[in-house]
Amino acid sequence: MEISAEMVKKLREKTGVGMMDCKKALLECKGDFEKASQYLREKGLDKAAKKASRPTKEGIIDSYIHLGSKIGVMVEINCETDFVARNEMFKELAHNILLQIAASSPIYISKEDIPNDVIEKEKNIYKMQALNEGKPENVVEKIAEGRLSKYYQEVCLLEQSYIKDNNITIKDLLNEYIAKIGENIVIKRFIRWVLGETN
């Protein structure tokens, strides 16, 4: 069944859940709006969306050294209460995020963290590539946008496919934990070192 962008947008406005999750829910429920809304509630994703605006002043800083001691990662993950910061499930999330960063080398946490000049530079490169490939000018912009989306999936932690389950992104994983734990959770910052690398 064809799920239109308008259907996804409408479900997002009603639930506050991310576009990809809304699309997935509509596909699962064969385009039935009410069933898709119920599906998101059952998954707890609507709650996760509502919690996203709540302040996160507690949390942990965690670290991971990869086998062979050639890669090291530190991450700060914030939550709402000290109680959750000490919770084993929260620590499990932090560990999984560390493994993701070690394996997938993101540069930014989210698309919003990428400076505009970097986005423009990438987009211009993709436009030139498309023109050099002989693509018609009227589709060059669309091609560049598509390649920019792939770029986000490479460099943004939240957009990356989760290394333990390629069917979900890190953003999806985060939302799952927010739904399970019942508090807003934010990946605040990270650093990844590779032995011998200079910045």
Say what the pLDDT of residue 90 is: 95
Say what the pLDDT of residue 151 is: 93
Q: What is the CA radius of gyration of the chain?
A: 19
Say what the pLDDT of residue 28 is: 84
Fold for 5-51, please state it. Helicase, Ruva Protein; domain 3 (1.10.8)
Question: What is the rounded distance in angstroms from the CA atom of residue 59 to the CA atom of residue 189?
Answer: 12
Architecture of domain 115-154: Orthogonal Bundle (1.10)
Q: What is the pLDDT along the chain (199 residues), one digit of tens a residue?
A: 678 888 887 877 776 676 777 888 888 888 888 888 777 777 766 656 666 667 778 999 999 999 889 999 999 999 999 999 999 999 999 999 999 999 999 999 999 999 999 999 999 899 888 888 888 888 888 888 899 999 999 999 999 999 999 989 999 999 889 888 888 899 999 999 999 887 6
79: enclosing H helix or E strand: strand 71-79
Q: pTM higher than 0.85, yes or no? A: no
Fold for 58-110+156-194, please state it. Tetrahydropterin Synthase; Chain A (3.30.479)
Q: Which two tokens stand for residue 99?
A: 């493994």
Question: What is the rounded distance in angstroms from the CA atom of residue 31 to the CA atom of residue 93?
Answer: 32
In the chain, list all ranges with CATH 3.30.479.20. 58-110+156-194
In the chain, list all ranges with CATH 1.10.286.20. 115-154
DSSP labels for the chain? ----HHHHHHHHHHH---HHHHHHHHHHTTT-HHHHHHHHHHHTHHHHHHHTTS---EEEEEEEE-TTS-EEEEEEEEES-HHHHT-HHHHHHHHHHHHHHHHH--SBSSGGGS-HHHHHHHHHHHHHHHHHTT--HHHHHHHHHHHHHHHHHHHBGGGSEETTEEEEEHHHHHHHHHHHH-S--EEEEEEEEETT---
